[in-house]
Structure 1
């Protein structure tokens, strides 16, 4: 096994790991966005309940403050995850380019190796044809004498 094959296998594994990490970050971002959406729906329900009931309107102010703080924390987390996703995407793109560079080098090495084998086979065929030609020529000379 050539050293390039080992390097390619290593880079494929690293690329797969980066893809998994990116997928996990994207899932986390999706969960945070879903949580933000649920919070918004909950706030709307609480507003309706507060406007319908006099007693609930007293507790709504405290709920609203807590909900605004949760919304702020979720938005902050989403922003951090989006930054991590951007960084992970860049890392994955770099790893992909690195892998492609080694794959292209391996393809070129194999192409050169096949070309070398083809040249050797051509030389052997040429030698065989030349030997056959000389035998026929010698046989023709002996038959003509």
Structure 2
């Protein structure tokens, strides 16, 4: 059963690695979302400042254009990381399914071997009982 034990252990390691990668991607996604939200907060603060000052109002147009570009870039980053997270989740699901397949196959083989061993032991016990019965009948 060593080959299956090794195969299961390797599949578990692969699954763990994929889970770690997924965790890192999810953390990166959260950071990207926080950064995107920070841009909205910054924009709101600048709008408020621009509304309060005539000079700031004149400069706000250039700032707004730059901010829109930064927001689009942040949105693209969030979208890209979301796609990477979904791909990593699919890899985790696939690795988990593979591991379960190995474990189920291993358990089935162990059950089959145990059943075979029990059958052999029962055959030996039956033969012993038959021999004892035969000896008893021979003595009579």
The residue number in structure 2 matching 1:12 is: 12
TM-score in terms of structure 2 length = 0.92
Q: How many residues align?
A: 140
The residue number in structure 2 matching 1:115 is: 115
CA deviations on 1:9-50 (whole Å, 9 max, x unpaired) are 101110111111111111111111111111101110110011
TM-score in terms of structure 1 length = 0.89
Following superposition, which runs of at least 4 residues in structure 1 exceed 4 angstroms of deviation? Answer: none
Matching of residue 39 in structure 1 with residue 39 in structure 2: yes
- Farther-moved stretch of structure 1 (5-14 vs 126-135): 126-135
User: Matched residues in 2 for 1:17 and 1:126: separation?
Assistant: 52
| 1:56 Cα deviation from its structure 2 partner | 2.1
User: Matched residues in 1 for 2:131 and 2:85: separation?
Assistant: 68
Unaligned runs of 5+ in 2: none
Q: CA RMSD in A?
A: 1.4
Q: 1:118-137 to 2 correspondence within 5 Å?
A: 118-137=118-137
Unaligned runs of 5+ in 1: none
